[in-house]
């Protein structure tokens, strides 16, 4: 039984530590480079003071205009070199970490049973894969920016204190108070930003739903209602974004004016002493330069702390996608192939043709309900057709999906030729088994691409599959035949054409077992008859859901489900004779 109990997210620093150790050299090079970059602004302040001290004739020995300018130029060049090396090292680290997190997320998602792969909508998953993996990788960069901002702020204040303790305290204390109040306001602004992001996500979700349900919306003639809903969400988003923008402009104005306020305070605190010569013009230059930079860095520091908190949220969202897998799996070390092709996967193990598929006591109950299938036992012999039938909601789809491992088994087992299948989700796939769902999913692209899904078209297999799927007559009406573009989700095809394209996709894989969920539900009577004629001619093992008498009559065995349990098994004639439910259902059927 699969556990999906949420696990507590470990502290962000533990994730960070594992990420740093994935590519430690790149991280260290980037950290040193950015540290030099951030500490460089300490130099112009000191050199500005030295320059004015030279002009006033009170410079330390060895300082001349030429030596001060030379130090500044050399420092500037060193800073350029540091930026270059830090950017290169950091880009390499960032790309690897983002790739690693995405790799680990996708790996976990693909290993889960199909129906449980995603805890949220596809849109939420995509934004976690894209934005949260980005925030996580960026956190490495913020960590050394944060360290540099701290060193800079303390270094700058220490230099100012060494010049004049009183002026430093008079200027810095009110300034730091203003900046702290600004930070508090920024935290509020952060919540406003979150609301605006939520509103944007709601708009994106509405657009996604519209794209997916475009056919249903048109059929129900509900375009106006859907557009009105989108407008309402957009209006909420507009208000949230305006509030967000106004707050952030007001805060930027506060932070950018602190340097001016600081210079004014310096003049007030040091004016008298400047007149007496105790406080030099060089000291004033040093104070004004550092005040500007220290206030900029204090603002930057607040931004970094918030970004760090956001990274924690990104980690929680990403670990939620892991659904019970230990959270540190997110940062497990795996090789990434950024400059070369990954090694070829091992050749698939030899596939043993199906002689018998045995289902023993199979149970799947949907979480928090008593719905599903219970204790289903049946044997599917090779070469025949087994039809699952039963009333709406009796568990037909659930049974097929549990056999395929798309729903986890909560009890029972499945045996292929007598051998227990440990992981049906990995085992019941081509070339052993192919499946067509009740509502098949097609991808944007051509009909040919949708059928082959990457298989080579050797010996014109696609043509054969199209014939078996009774799709040939339709292709004659498309200008580009098999190379017709079908639009997102196959929007340019009818429901029946979608089903038959999916059926052709199943045939082209030439599996030992075909599993079909009400394949003919969207077909007219003639097309359905042709399709079943093709299927019965294939002499392949079929497990299918159907309630059509024509199919039931030709089936080798019919399994009648009732409330998630097997009610009766036999031929159609036997069931009509022995089962009151079967008789009742087929008095009503066409
Ligand atoms: N994801 C789910 N979560 C909770 N309950 C579900 C879920 N999917 C199906 N069910 C319930 O499980 C039962 C069996 O559903 P299932 O889709 O297997 O029935 P079915 O026989 O295939 O129905 P139909 O003939 O309409 O296709 C139903 O009562 C259904 O409401």
Query: Quick one: pLDDT at residue 283?
Result: 86
Report which protein residue has its CA nearest ligand 1's atom 7.
Answer: 366
408 CA → ligand 1 middle, Å:
15
Contact 100, 331 (CB under 8 A): yes
Cβ of 497 less than 6 Å from ligand 1 = no
At the topology level of CATH, where does 356-588 sit? Rossmann fold (3.40.50)
Which band of pLDDT confidence, cut at 50, 70 and 90, is reported for residue 588? low
Which is it for strands 433-436 and 385-390: parallel, antiparallel or unpaired?
A: unpaired
Contact 450, 369 (CB under 8 A): no
Cβ of 392 less than 6 Å from ligand 1 = yes
Atom from ligand 1 closest to the CA of residue 395: 18
User: pLDDT tens digits, residue range 402-435?
Assistant: 999 999 999 999 999 999 999 898 899 998 999 9
Mean pLDDT across the chain = 86
Q: What is the Cα–Cα distance from 322 to 389, expressed in whole angstroms?
A: 36
Mutate to test the pocket of ligand 1, among 364, 396, 581 (most ligand atoms within 8 A of CB): 396
Q: Which residues pair with 434 in a beta bridge?
A: 514
Mutate to test the pocket of ligand 1, among 395, 516, 588 (most ligand atoms within 8 A of CB): 395
Query: Quick one: pLDDT at residue 106?
Result: 93
Report which protein residue has its CA nearest ligand 1's atom 29.
Answer: 393
396 CA → ligand 1 middle, Å:
8
* Residue whose pair of structure tokens reads 């014939």 in the numeric block: 467
At the topology level of CATH, where does 12-111+120-331 sit? ABC transporter transmembrane region fold (1.20.1560)
The answer to whether the Cα torsion of 148, 151, 155, 158 is positive or negative is positive
Q: What is the Cα–Cα distance from 354 to 414, expressed in whole angstroms?
A: 13
Measured in degrees and rounded to the nearest 5, phi and psi for residue 545 equal: -95, 130
Edge-to-edge, what's the strand order for the sheet holding 557-562? 433-436, 513-517, 541-545, 385-390, 557-562, 565-570
Mutate to test the pocket of ligand 1, among 362, 392, 398, 400 (most ligand atoms within 8 A of CB): 398
Percent of the chain scored above 70 by pLDDT? 95
Atom from ligand 1 closest to the CA of residue 390: 21
372 CA → ligand 1 middle, Å:
7
In the numeric block, which tokens belong to residue 586?
Answer: 């087929």
366 CA → ligand 1 middle, Å:
9
563 CA → ligand 1 middle, Å:
10
Report which protein residue has its CA nearest ligand 1's atom 17.
Answer: 397
Report which protein residue has its CA nearest ligand 1's atom 3.
Answer: 366
Percent of the chain scored above 90 by pLDDT? 39
Cβ of 394 less than 6 Å from ligand 1 = yes
Interface predicted TM-score of the whole assembly (ipTM), two decimals: 0.97
Check residue 11 and report its DSSP letter: P
Report which protein residue has its CA nearest ligand 1's atom 18.
Answer: 395
Q: What is the Cα–Cα distance from 396 to 394, expressed in whole angstroms?
A: 6
Contact 482, 447 (CB under 8 A): yes
Cβ of 140 less than 6 Å from ligand 1 = no
Report which protein residue has its CA nearest ligand 1's atom 31.
Answer: 393
In order, the DSSP letters of 163-223 are H-HHHHHHHHHHHHHHHHHHHHHHHHHHHHHHHHHHHHHHHHHHHHHHHHTHHHHHHTT-H
Q: Whose CA is closest to 94, among 43, 146, 29?
A: 29
pLDDT of 6 over the 60 cut: no
pLDDT of 298 over the 70 cut: no
Atom from ligand 1 closest to the CA of residue 561: 21
103 CA → ligand 1 middle, Å:
33
Cβ of 79 less than 6 Å from ligand 1 = no
- Range with the poorest average pLDDT among 28-37, 120-129, 290-299, 459-468: 290-299
Cβ of 393 less than 6 Å from ligand 1 = yes
Cβ of 371 less than 6 Å from ligand 1 = yes
Q: What is the Cα–Cα distance from 504 to 17, expressed in whole angstroms?
A: 49
Atom from ligand 1 closest to the CA of residue 373: 14
Cβ of 389 less than 6 Å from ligand 1 = no
User: pLDDT tens digits, residue range 228-252?
Assistant: 999 999 999 999 999 888 887 887 7
The residue-averaged pLDDT of 528-540 equals 84
In the chain, domain spans: 12-111+120-331, 356-588
Cβ of 369 less than 6 Å from ligand 1 = yes
Distance in Å from the first CA to the final CA of the chain:
41
Q: What is the Cα–Cα distance from 322 to 102, expressed in whole angstroms?
A: 12
Range from 227-236, 295-304, 449-458, 476-485 that averages highest in pLDDT: 227-236
Cβ of 411 less than 6 Å from ligand 1 = no
Query: Quick one: pLDDT at residue 38?
Result: 83
Specify burial of residue 208 (Cβ count, 10 A radius: 0-12, 13-18, 19+). middle
Atom from ligand 1 closest to the CA of residue 372: 12
Which band of pLDDT confidence, cut at 50, 70 and 90, is reported for residue 1? very low
Cβ of 537 less than 6 Å from ligand 1 = no
Atom from ligand 1 closest to the CA of residue 394: 21
Which band of pLDDT confidence, cut at 50, 70 and 90, is reported for residue 23? very high
Q: What is the Cα–Cα distance from 468 to 452, expressed in whole angstroms?
A: 14
pLDDT of 512 over the 50 cut: yes
Cβ of 310 less than 6 Å from ligand 1 = no
Cβ of 397 less than 6 Å from ligand 1 = yes
Question: Distance of alpha carbon 217 from its chain centroid, rounded?
Answer: 27
434 CA → ligand 1 middle, Å:
21
User: pLDDT tens digits, residue range 52-73?
Assistant: 888 888 877 888 889 989 998 9
The residue-averaged pLDDT of 114-122 equals 73
Q: What is the Cα–Cα distance from 404 to 453, expressed in whole angstroms?
A: 19
Report the alpha-carbon angle 92-96-99, nearest 5. 140
């Amino acid at each position: 039984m699969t556990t999906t109990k949420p696990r507590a997210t470990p502290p962000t620093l533990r994730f960070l530590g594992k990420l740093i150790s994935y590519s430690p050299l790149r991280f260290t090079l980037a950290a040193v480079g950015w540290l030099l970059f951030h500490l460089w602004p300490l130099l112009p302040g000191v050199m500005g003071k030295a320059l004015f001290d030279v002009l006033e004739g009170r410079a330390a020995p060895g300082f001349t205009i030429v030596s001060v300018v030379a130090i500044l130029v050399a420092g500037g060049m060193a800073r350029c070199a540091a930026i270059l090396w830090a950017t290169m090292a950091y880009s390499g680290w960032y790309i690897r970490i983002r790739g690693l997190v995405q790799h680990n997320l996708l790996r976990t998602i693909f290993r889960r049973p199909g129906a449980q792969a995603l805890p949220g909508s596809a849109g939420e998953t995509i934004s976690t894969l894209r934005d949260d993996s980005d925030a996580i990788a960026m956190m490495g960069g913020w960590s050394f920016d944060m360290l540099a901002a701290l060193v800079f702020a303390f270094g700058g204040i220490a230099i100012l204190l060494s010049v004049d303790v009183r002026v430093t305290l008079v200027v810095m204390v009110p300034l730091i108070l203003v900046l702290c109040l600004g930070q508090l306001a920024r935290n509020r602004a952060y919540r406003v930003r979150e609301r605006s992001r939520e509103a944007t996500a709601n708009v994106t979700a509405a657009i996604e739903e519209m794209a997916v349900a475009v056919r249903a919306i048109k059929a129900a003639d509900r375009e106006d209602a859907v557009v009105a809903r989108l407008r309402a969400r957009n209006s909420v988003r507009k208000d949230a974004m305006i509030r967000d923008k106004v707050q952030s402009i007001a805060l930027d104005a506060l932070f950018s004016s602190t340097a001016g306020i600081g210079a004014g305070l310096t003049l007030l605190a040091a004016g008298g002493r400047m007149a007496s010569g105790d406080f030099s013009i060089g000291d004033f230059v040093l104070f004004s330069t550092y005040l500007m930079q220290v206030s900029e860095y204090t603002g930057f520091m607040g931004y970094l702390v918030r970004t760090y908190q956001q990274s924690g949220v990104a980690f929680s969202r990403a670990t939620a996608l892991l659904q019970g897998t230990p959270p540190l799996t997110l940062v497990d070390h795996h090789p990434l192939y950024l400059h070369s092709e990954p090694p070829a996967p091992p050749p698939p193990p030899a596939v043993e043709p199906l002689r018998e598929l045995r289902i023993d006591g199979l149970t799947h109950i949907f979480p928090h309900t008593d719905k599903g299938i219970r204790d289903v036992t049946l044997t599917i012999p090779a070469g025949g057709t087994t039809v699952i039938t039963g009333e709406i909601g009796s568990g037909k789809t659930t049974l097929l999906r549990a056999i395929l491992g798309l729903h986890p088994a909560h009890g029972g087992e499945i045996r292929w030729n007598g051998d227990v299948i440990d992981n049906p989700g990995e085992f019941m796939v081509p070339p052993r088994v192919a499946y067509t769902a009740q509502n098949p999913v097609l991808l944007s692209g051509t009909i040919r691409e949708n059928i082959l899904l990457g298989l080579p078209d050797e010996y014109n297999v696609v043509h054969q599959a199209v014939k078996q799927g009774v799709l040939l007559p339709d292709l004659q009406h498309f200008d580009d035949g098999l190379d017709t573009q079908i639009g997102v989700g196959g929007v340019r095809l009818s429901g029946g054409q979608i089903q038959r394209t999916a059926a052709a996709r199943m045939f082209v894989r030439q599996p030992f077992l075909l599993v079909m969920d009400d394949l003919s539900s969207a077909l007219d009577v003639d097309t359905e008859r042709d399709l079943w004629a093709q299927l019965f001619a294939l002499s392949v093992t079929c497990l299918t859901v159907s309630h059509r008498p024509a199919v039931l009559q030709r089936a080798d065995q019919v399994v009648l489900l009732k409330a998630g349990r097997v009610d009766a098994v036999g031929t159609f004639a036997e069931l009509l004779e022995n089962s009151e439910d079967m008789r009742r259902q087929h008095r009503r059927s066409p």
